[in-house]
Amino acid sequence: MRFLTYLFMWIALSGGWNISSGYTGYIDFGPVVYFGIGAYTCAMTMTIVKFPFLLSIVTGGGIAVVISYIMGKPTLKLKGAYFAIATFAFAESMKQIVLSFDRTFNVKFFMGSHGITLPICTNYNLFYYLMMLMAVLVVLITFLIENTKFGLALKAINESEQAAQMIGIDTVKIKITAYGISAFFIGVTGGIYSYWVTYITPDDVFNVHKTVQMVIMTLLGGMGTFLGPILGATFLSSVSEFLGAEFVEDYLIIVGVIVVFVILVEPSGIYGLKRWKKFLKPKA
């Protein structure tokens, strides 16, 4: 059950990242910010304000959307490596702010490196079903928007943003909207995670390696497809679970080789492998 809960979490996270970056081609290294915001909002509202859990995670998602708008407005005007570097710097800056805020202003707010302990919940089924719900919602919404006017606009931006602007698409508005949707799902998932593990620190929930894992899973499964995050998260999580038990010291090297091999053989990810079927069919 713990493995499946983690699997659903990674499907939700990589699927959330895919809604914005996978369809537009803007490689974002900052979504861990929204995961951390969701986690800390849930922790702080439950322990300080005494909000109920469900209200806390929705609040975390809402604050993540607000921050994504503030951050996305200037950064989404950048392109390529400049956008990736800006979002990476934003993620690292946010972690340092949370770490040093209390010491700088002599308050007890984020609790710095000590982190926050949440009330213990022994109903593990709750987190299993909530993470599964998040995974289903992300995949369903991605599927629904894929062929809508909004989804086609995202694909047009990926193909050629300049051409999309020339035919009347408000590319900035479209990108910010997708960025906000992505931030909401990642933020809510972060809130569920915080209550599940009961103890969070900035080094955990603002760790950029979480972003890297979202990116790798989506690339591995297939960017810009609703099935890509499912395939990538399932494959990578399953392989890591098996190899981690069998090869404790070397499994990350093996996982890295597998990921590189798949991406080199099929750049469009595991989802693209279905195209091989036409070459494998015997000719009449």
pLDDT in tens, 35-61: 999 999 999 999 888 899 999 999 999
Residue 34 has pLDDT above 50, yes or no: yes
Backbone angles phi, psi at 269, to 5 degrees: 85, -175
d(CA 254, CA 142): 31
Taking residues 78-103, what's their average pLDDT? 85
d(CA 98, CA 268): 37
Residue 254 has pLDDT above 80, yes or no: no
Highest mean pLDDT among 123-127, 190-194, 249-253: 190-194
Q: Three-state SS across 4-70?
A: HHHHHHHHHHHHHHHHHHHHHCCCCCCCHHHHHHHHHHHHHHHHHHCCCHHHHHHHHHHHHHHHHHH
Amino acid at 27: I
pLDDT value at position 279? Answer: 47
Taking residues 1-20, what's their average pLDDT? 94
In this predicted model, which residue has the larger pLDDT, 230 or 252?
A: 230
pLDDT value at position 248? Answer: 62
Confidence of residue 168 (pLDDT cuts 50, 70, 90): confident
pLDDT value at position 81? Answer: 82
pLDDT in tens, 56-69: 999 999 999 999 99
pLDDT value at position 18? Answer: 94
pLDDT value at position 140? Answer: 94
pLDDT in tens, 207-234: 888 988 898 889 888 888 888 899 989 9
Average pLDDT of the chain is 86
Residue 274 has pLDDT above 70, yes or no: no
Residue 284 has pLDDT above 60, yes or no: no
- The DSSP bridge pattern shows strands 116-117 and 199-200 to be antiparallel
pLDDT value at position 249? Answer: 66
pLDDT in tens, 182-210: 999 999 999 999 999 999 998 889 988 89
